Structure 1
C-alpha cells in the first residue's frame, strides 16, 4: 500500500463533543461533505452519529447515498439515522433519489421544489422536507429577502408536496470578530425569518454559520442571537460545523474570544513507507532542476507520495529556502529538492536506523495541515481535502 489515512475515532468524537458543549442549546450539524474533508465520509459519518449528531451535511445526492449506505453497513437502521442535508443544490435528475433516500435538500428556486414534488408524486411518497437558503450577502446560493422570498413562501404554503422544514443562511466572515458584514447578514436573515412567520409557515430548524461561528464568541455571541431568532418562529437553532470536527479552525481575527480552536485535535494521520535509501556526497544535486545541492554527505530516504497524492509542491526545498518535512521514527525529516508527482525525498541523516518499509507520517502529529497550509500559502481546508491516499481506515487512538 503506497499511502493510507488513519482516522482517529476518539479524536473525532471528542471534537464533536467539544463543539456541542460550546454550542450549548444550539444543535450542531456535522458536515461530512467533500468526503468528510478528505477524511472519508463512510468512515466518519457512523462515528459522528454514534457521538450524537442529529444532522449530517453532504455536498450532493451521490454523497448522501454513500452516507446512508455507510450508516446501514455500520448497523444504524434507517429509522435511527439522522437527517442528511444536501447542501449544494440539486438538478432535476437528482430529485427522485433525494425522495427515495429521504435526504433533505437545500433549495432556493421554485423549480427545484417542483421537481421534488413531482418525484414524490411518482413514488407515492409524502411531502418532501426542504431547507430554503437565504442569500444574505454571499451571492452564491440562496434567495434574497424581500418580494422574491415572499412569493416563494406563498407558493410553498399552497404546495402539498413540499414541507418547509428549515431556513438557513451562510456567513462570509464568521472568523472575523465584530464583522460588519456578519452584522448586515444577520439583519437580512432576521428579515427573512420574519417573512416566514408572517406567511404562517412553521419551521423545525433555523440555522446559520460554520465552525468559526461556534469558535467566535463575544458576550452573548453569535449563537445566542441565533437561538433567539429560531425561538421567534417556534424552531430550534442549529450551526453547521465542518473543519473543526477534523481538528482545525481558522484563527479568529480581531478581538474575538476563541472557545474551541486551541482544544481541537487533528483527526487525520496520513502515512506512507520508505521505499528507497541513498547516500549522496557534497556537491550532488537532488531532484528536479537541481534546486538542492548537498553541502555535505547526506543520507536520504525516498517516499512514494507527491503532488498527485495531495502533497503540495510548495513544500519543496532548495538550499536557499527550507520546505516541508515528514516524521520518520518520531523525528523531523526535511524535504530536500522538489516534491515530484509521486515521489518525495527527505533527509534522514540525523535519524538512526531508517530502513526500507519504515512507516512515515506525512500529515499528523508533528506535521499538521496548518504546517502544510502555511508553506503552501493556503488554508488547512485545502490541505486535508486534497489528500488522495489510497485507503482510509478508522483507528481507536
Structure 2
C-alpha cells in the first residue's frame, strides 16, 4: 500500500461535540459528509458522527446518500438511530425514484424537481416526499428567489399532495466575514421568505442556514437569530457544518482567531513510506527541469505520492523558493525539486536513521492542510478533498 489515511475517530467526535456546544440550546448541527467526507472517507466518518449525536448528515447526491446508508448499516447503526440524510446539491429526473425509494431528503427549489419526486412516489405507492426548500438569498447558485418566484412555488406546493415541505433553508455567501453587509441582507431576505411560508401554512419541521463559519463567526448571535426565525413557523433550527468537523475553518476576516477555531483538531493523518534513498553530491540536480541544484552533499528520500495522489505541485521547491515538507521520524523533511505525478523527493540529511519502509506523514501533526493550502495559494477544503490514498480507516 503506497499511501493511506488514518482518521482519528476521537478527534472527529470531539470536533462535532465542540460545534454542537457552540451552537447551543436545541439547535441541531447537521454534519456534512459530502465529497467523501471532505476526503476523509464517508464510510469511516458517518458512523462516528451519528454516534456522537448527529441527527442529520449532508451528502452531495443520491449516490453518496446510498453509500452513507450502506456504511451506517455495515457499521451496525440501528435503523431507529439513523439520521436524516440531506441530498444537498439538487437532483435530476432520473434520480427521483432512488431518492424516494431510499427515503433520502432532497434539497429542492424548482417545481420540476418536486413534480419528479411526486410522480416517483406515486409509482412506488409511497406517501408524500419530504423535501427541504432552498431560498436563494444572495448566492445566485441554487435556490428559489424571494418574491414572485417563491410565492408561485409555495402556491403550487399547497395544492400538491405528493410533496411535504419538511424544511426551509438558505446558504450564506460571506459567513467568514465579520459584520458582513451581505449576510445582513441575506438574513432579511430569508426572514421575508419565512413569512411567505408561514402565510401559506406550510408547516416545516426544520429551518436551517449557514456553514462552519456561521458557528465560528459570532456564533451565539447567528444561532439566536436562526432560532427566532424558526420559531415563526414553529420549526426547529439547525446549522450545517462541514470542514470544521475535520479540524479546519476559514479565518474570520476582521477578527482574531476564534475560541472555536483554536479548539478544533485536524482529523486526518495521511501517511506513506520511504521507497528509495540516495546520496546526492553538490551540483546534482533533482527532479524535472533541474529546478533544484544540490548545494552540498545530501541524503534524499523518495516517497511514492505526487500530484495525482493529492500532493499539490505548488509544494515543489527550487533553490530560490522553499516548498512544502513531510514529517519523517517526527522531523521536517523539506521537499526538493518538482513534485511529480506519483513521486516526491524530500531531504532527510539531518534526520538520523532513515531507512527504506519508514512511515512518513504527508498530512497530519506537523504538516497540516493549512500549511499545504498556504503554499498552494488555496484553502484547506481543496487540500483535504484532493487526497486520494489507497485506503482509509478509523483509529
Give TM-score scaled by structure 1 length: 0.98
Separation in 1, partners of 2:102, 2:115: 18
Superposed displacement of residue 258, structure 1:
2.2
The residue number in structure 2 matching 1:136 is 137
Post-superposition Cα deviations, 1:364-393, rounded to whole Å, max 9, x if no partner, equal 000000000000000000000000111100
SS in 2 for 1:271: strand
The residue number in structure 2 matching 1:299 is 299
Separation in 2, partners of 1:78, 1:122: 25
RMSD after superposition: 0.9
Aligned length: 394
Superposed displacement of residue 259, structure 1:
3.8
Separation in 2, partners of 1:283, 1:231: 71
SS in 2 for 1:260: helix
Equivalences for residues 257-268 of structure 1 within 5 A: 258-268=258-268
SS in 2 for 1:307: coil
- The answer to whether the Cα contact below 8 Å between 1:60 and 1:90 also exists between their aligned partners in 2 is yes
The residue number in structure 2 matching 1:272 is 272
- The answer to whether the Cα contact below 8 Å between 1:214 and 1:259 also exists between their aligned partners in 2 is no
Separation in 1, partners of 2:340, 2:113: 44
1:379 and 2:355 correspond: no
SS in 2 for 1:188: helix
SS in 2 for 1:28: strand
The residue number in structure 1 matching 2:9 is 9
Superposed displacement of residue 256, structure 1:
6.8
Separation in 1, partners of 2:280, 2:327: 21
Unaligned 5+ segments in structure 2 are none
Superposed displacement of residue 148, structure 1:
1.0
Separation in 2, partners of 1:259, 1:134: 31
The residue number in structure 2 matching 1:49 is 50
Superposed displacement of residue 147, structure 1:
1.3
- The answer to whether the Cα contact below 8 Å between 2:134 and 2:143 also exists between their aligned partners in 1 is yes
Separation in 2, partners of 1:129, 1:157: 13
The residue number in structure 2 matching 1:370 is 370
Separation in 1, partners of 2:127, 2:368: 47
1:252 and 2:252 correspond: yes
The residue number in structure 2 matching 1:204 is 205
Superposed displacement of residue 151, structure 1:
1.1
The residue number in structure 1 matching 2:170 is 169
SS in 2 for 1:164: strand
Equivalences for residues 154-233 of structure 1 within 5 A: 154-217=155-218, 220-233=220-233
Separation in 2, partners of 1:331, 1:195: 59
- The answer to whether the Cα contact below 8 Å between 1:269 and 1:365 also exists between their aligned partners in 2 is yes
Unaligned 5+ segments in structure 1 are none
Superposed displacement of residue 76, structure 1:
1.3
